[in-house]
Structure 1
Amino acid sequence: MTIRLSGVRQQSVWASVVSDDAPRLRAWLLALGFTEDLLIPGEGENSIHHGQLDWPEGGRVLLSSTGERPTPCRSGTSSLHVVTADPDAVMARARALDATVVHELTDQTDYPSRDFTVADPDGNLWTFATFAG
């Protein structure tokens, strides 16, 4: 199998994540290395209507509490791929959070990537990888 890459890094697609405990997920993502761009509190106590968290190497995640806005998204059903030059450092932060490791840090042999996957508190899967396409 031949892997073809365009060499163009695309960082303009923003994933949207809905959480049953958005403040907890927000704190978890910030501890992994995301930075906060925007936070609009929700109507309910301890809820988030709309949050924007940026990955320092590019990309953004949108976050809201379950029930804050009409959406087909459901808590715990997302799988996200985050490109990073240093997955080892992110893995160390994930371990410090006692994150559930789904896929250990691995050097892939069939494509050029060093990556791992963890589950967030809602059960969403987050892969942090050197592979940027």
Structure 2
Amino acid sequence: MTVRVGGVLQQSVWASLVSDDAQVIRDWLLRLGFAEDLLIPGERVDAIHHCQLDWPEGGRILLSSTGERPTPCQPGTASLQVVTADPDAVLARAISLEATVVHEIVDQTDYPSRDFTVADPDGNHWTFATFAG
């Protein structure tokens, strides 16, 4: 087994996801624009024990297959926000992946943000927004 580490230190909170088909979620996130920093294969065929996926504008997602590690997380129950300078480009990639659009892209009027929400193949909701707080 080879473990690859990108060496990029992320100074933020890292969300953790589990999936019954983590390889599908991993591939979906990579095609959406995340970059893999670390992948530790699981004990079962095609299982992921631990995967770190970095957003190019900052932040990290942790992903593992269901049953690989003790966790209260359940597949398809997360709601995450990712800050991006170009939500339109991310939405175009999401649509090319046939993601379910939960909320269409909109320019918010109560705060300065352009954002949208899509569901990944497990049903987790991902909001991509220009608003960083």
For normalisation by structure 1, the TM-score amounts to 0.92
Structure 1 residue runs of 4+, over 4 Å off?
none
Q: Which amino acid aligns with 2:46?
A: N
Counterpart secondary structure, 1:56 = coil
User: d(CA) in 2 for partners of 1:87 and 1:78?
Assistant: 20
Counterpart residue number, 1:111? 111
User: d(CA) in 1 for partners of 2:100 and 2:47?
Assistant: 24
Structure 2: gaps of 5 or more residues: 1-9
Counterpart residue number, 1:77? 77
Superposed, 1:27-46 pairs within 5 Å as 27-46=27-46
For normalisation by structure 2, the TM-score amounts to 0.92
| Identity, % of aligned positions | 81
Superposed, 1:1-133 pairs within 5 Å as 12-133=12-133
Q: Which amino acid aligns with 1:82?
A: V
User: d(CA) in 2 for partners of 1:82 and 1:128?
Assistant: 5
Counterpart residue number, 1:3? none
User: d(CA) in 2 for partners of 1:83 and 1:19?
Assistant: 23
Q: Tell me the CA shift for residue 11 of structure 1.
A: 5.0
Q: Tell me the CA shift for residue 101 of structure 1.
A: 0.3
The count of residues paired between Structure 1 and Structure 2 equals 124
RMSD: 1.0
Structure 1: gaps of 5 or more residues: 1-9
